[in-house]
Amino acid sequence: MTGLVVVIGIIAIILIFFGGFVQAVQWLLWVGIVLLVVAVIVWLLRFISGRRNSST
């Protein structure tokens, strides 16, 4: 019976860890999508306005 409690406790800790990890990944995914949209908007504004930076 004690072994079963230990196994259930370990599984619960693993599930809590993965639950927090998945939420963090989902949050970072949304941040990445927002940054991608902002980058596309900035690129479109530069493309439409005709600015050509030759700083390279």
Domain ranges of the chain: 1-50
Name the region of 52 (left: φ>0; alpha: ψ -120 to 50; beta: rest).
beta
Please give the model's pTM, rounded to 2 decimal places. Answer: 0.57
pLDDT value of residue 51? 61
| H or E element in which residue 18 lies | helix 2-49
Q: Name the stretches of the chain with pLDDT < 70.
A: 1, 51-56
The CB density around residue 42, as the number of other CB atoms within 10 Å, is 10
Q: Any idea what DSSP says for residue 53?
A: -
pLDDT value at residue 54:
55
Tell me the average pLDDT of the chain.
82
d(CA 5, CA 7): 5
- pLDDT at residue number 32: 86
Two tokens at 22?
């998945």
